[in-house]
Every structure is written in structure tokens, then in C-alpha cells.
Structure 1
Amino acid sequence: MENKYPAWIDITAKDAAVTRAFYAQLFGWRLQLIEALNYALIDPDPDALPGGIGQQDPAHPAGIVTYFSVSDLEESLARAEQLGAKTAVPPWEVPGLGRMTIFLDPDGNRIGLWQD
């Protein structure tokens, strides 16, 4: 398992429109809304971690998840579980982009794994 670096930040909000406005004003982020997903991508910036802001739902409670790039998603998730983590969102495919999963670390923090 090779953990490279943080690859994505995901902000899940109780009121996504309010949260998007907050971060746009706070950091000057330009957001591109994908209406079908109620998810806004942060416009790419070479000096910032890519990410997005979405609406909470039963599978995605409000909060922030940082995704770490790994070379083998299943191996990394299995290792996290061996160390006391619990899977929160099983691995799934983002068509044409990669695969992702979310686990809860021993303190209950939501951490994501990303594989290109």
C-alpha cells in the first residue's frame, strides 16, 4: 500500500447552498454546480487541493472528508480495518475517473481513500 498524498477534500453540508456561498466568499472559490448531483466542484487551482461541496444525505453526513490517494484501494482499506477502522462507505466506482471508499478511523473521523 502506497499512500501518496491528500487528493481531494469533500465538504458535505446541511444546507449546501449556504455552505457554498460561505466558502466562495471566505476563500474566493469559484464553484461549478452539477445540478443533478447537488454537488459543486471547486474550480481547479494549482495552489489548492481539489474538491467539492455537496448536500448531506443518509450515507453522507455533514462534515469534511479528506481523500488520500492510494495505489490499491482494497489493500489500503483492509489495512485500515486491521488497525481498527470501520468501513463507512464501501468502495465504489466514479465512472471514468477512479474508485473511492470512506472509513471511520478509531476516533470516528471520516477518511477517504482514492485510487485512479
Structure 2
Amino acid sequence: MAHGDITHIDIPVSDLAAGRAFYGGLFGWQIDTMPGFEDYPMWRAPNGISGGGLAPRSEGFTQPRSYVEVDSIDDALRRAVELGATVAMERTPIDENSAWAVFTDPDGNQVGLYESRAAG
């Protein structure tokens, strides 16, 4: 994916099993868990391209959140703040090759950032 592409959408759910049944039944999404991420079932749309996860609902996560691929989370957060955003979650590693962060735009919307580098 390229800088600026929407890569992922998280949907907050109160009950992971019920969320899986609902979204799988409604849209035909294949929803599976990955080793090490059992509490975060990932969905894939029938187009095989778009996808995301069902994440536990929390006080700070009550609405779906899109994630945008960036070349550098640090640079993107810095620029977002310059443009009036606030950082909701600093850069956090997912694994050795990827990380994520969240900012709140000047209108109150939360947007996630995703950075990945090729393994090797």
C-alpha cells in the first residue's frame, strides 16, 4: 500500500462472538483470528482487498476508525498536530515490522495511522 491509502477499518464491539456473527452474516465477511491476536478477530471483505478488525469497545473507542498507511508515523503525527490535531495514541509497535498511532482531527474525528516496513 502507498502513503495515504486507507488500509484498515476497526469496528468496536461489546461482544466479539456476537460481532463476528453479525458482520459475517450481514456482509459475508470471513472473520478469523491470528496467533497472538486472539482477542482481535480480523475481517476480509469479499473483494479480498478491504478489511479490518473487530476490536473491544472501550471508553475511548466507540465509533469505527479508519487507518491510513503512512511512510512515517512520527512525521504524520507531527504534521497532524501542526494542522490542529491532537495525538490520541502515540506510535505503538504492532510487531517488529509495523506500528500504529491515532490522532483526533480538529473536528473531533479519530483517525488511525499505520506504518509498515518490509521484513528483511
How many residue pairs end up in the alignment? Answer: 114
How large is the RMSD of aligned CA atoms in angstroms? 2.2
- 2:81 alignment counterpart: 81
- Alpha-carbon spacing, 1:44–1:25, altered in 2? closer, same or farther (3 Å): closer
Does residue 93 of the first structure (1) align with residue 93 of the second (2)?
Answer: yes
Cα offset, 1:56, TM superposition? 1.7
Which residue identity does 1:39 align to in structure 2?
Answer: Y
- 1:41 alignment counterpart: 42
Cα offset, 1:24, TM superposition? 0.6
TM-score, normalised with respect to structure 2: 0.81
- 2:4 alignment counterpart: 4
- 2:52 alignment counterpart: 51
Q: Aligned with 1:11: secondary structure?
A: strand
Decide whether the 8 Å contact of 1:13 with 1:63 is kept in 2: no
Q: Which has the higher strand share?
A: 1
More displaced 10-residue stretch of structure 1: 15-24 or 38-47? 38-47
Cα offset, 1:41, TM superposition? 0.9
Cα offset, 1:111, TM superposition? 0.2
User: Identity, % of aligned pairs?
Assistant: 29
Which residue identity does 2:72 align to in structure 1?
Answer: D
- List runs of 5+ in structure 1 lacking aligned partners: none
Decide whether the 8 Å contact of 2:44 with 2:50 is kept in 1: no
- 1:31 alignment counterpart: 31
